[in-house]
Amino acid sequence: MSDSLDTIVSKIKKLLSLATSPNAHEAALAATKANELLVRHNLDMQSIASGVDSDLDDYKNSMIYQKPRLAFEAHWVMQIVQTHFFVTVVFKSARRLTKNDAYIYIVGKKTNVQVATFTFEFLIGKYKQLWAEYKKNTHSHNHLKGAYYKGLTEGLHNQLFERRRYVEISMALTVTKDPLLEKMVSQYHRQARYTSLPTPMQSDQSVHSCGYQTGRNLKIQTGITDANKKKELK
């Protein structure tokens, strides 16, 4: 399986180099292909592994977040990563035992964990950036942030569901649930919980709609880079 991991990482790195192109169309196409590649990779691995025992060493448990509290954006981003990147996201709280009380872990196959981790980091920053821009342009108050994030998340969900469906149809395969993933989560985390989406403090249809349209058009530039060389692609 190490060869498969090396191959997928190499391909995504090549796509990322294209995503830095000053040509907007070429950059957007490369970013989209990088996301589709992960779906195709999981379909390929699923087909290969059919009837064959999976290697437990292919799985990884990675702590990706350690803060005094859980950022508001993290609630929404965790749902995106959990739903679309073939991993399980686990939230733990230290209950004031240490100065860092909020922890997020990602469990899954190594390739998926790597891609999901960079996607999580990218989206946390992107959510903050998009809300700041929207707030500045519309003079909206912070109590509408939840309505904007709700629309943003729904738009992004729909875009990624459509992308996965396109790949599944083109390959005549359907992604199925990894039977070992739940077992691995239980092995790594005996006590774990999952955060639900917060209820927006105030609902506003126009704010929600703007967030939704932004999410529909948002390009997730998924990255796998060498250690300490992570960068956000624009």
Q: Which CA distances in Å does 50 have to 57, 58, 111, 179, 181?
A: 18, 16, 19, 11, 15
234 belongs to a structural domain: no
230 belongs to a structural domain: no
232 belongs to a structural domain: no
What is the sign, positive or negative, of the torsion defined by CA atoms of 162, 194, 113, 28? positive
225 belongs to a structural domain: no
| Mean pLDDT, rounded, of the chain | 75
State the total domains in the chain. 1
Confidence band, pLDDT 50/70/90 cuts, at residue 225: very low
Q: What's the rounded Cα separation, in Å, for the pair 3 and 232?
A: 27
> In sequence order, which residues have a C-beta less than 8 Å from that of residue 187 and are 6 or more positions away?
none
More confidently predicted of 157 and 51: 157
Token pair of 115, please? 């891609």
> In sequence order, which residues have a C-beta less than 8 Å from that of residue 232 and are 6 or more positions away?
122, 125, 221, 223
Percent of the chain with pLDDT over 70: 65
Helix, strand, coil percent values for the chain (each to nearest 5):
60, 10, 30
Mean pLDDT of 191-205: 62
pLDDT at 87 over 70: yes
More confidently predicted of 11 and 179: 179
Predicted local distance difference test score (pLDDT) of residue 174: 81
More confidently predicted of 98 and 230: 98
With vertex at residue 124, the alpha carbon angle to CA 45 and CA 22, rounded to the nearest 5 degrees, is 80
228 belongs to a structural domain: no
pLDDT at 232 over 50: no
* Local structure of residue 44 (DSSP, 8 states): H
118 belongs to a structural domain: yes
174 belongs to a structural domain: yes
Range of the domain at 110: 2-217
Q: pLDDT digit string (tens) for 15-67?
A: 655 555 555 455 445 555 666 777 877 776 665 554 445 567 789 999 999 98
Mean pLDDT of 70-92: 90
213 belongs to a structural domain: yes
Beta strand pairing status for 88-93 and 59-67? unpaired
Q: pLDDT digit string (tens) for 90-143?
A: 988 766 555 668 889 999 988 889 888 878 888 888 899 889 999 999 999 898
Q: What's the rounded Cα separation, in Å, for the pair 24 and 2?
A: 34
Least confident of 5-9, 79-83, 84-88: 5-9
Predicted local distance difference test score (pLDDT) of residue 176: 78
Percent of the chain with pLDDT over 90: 17
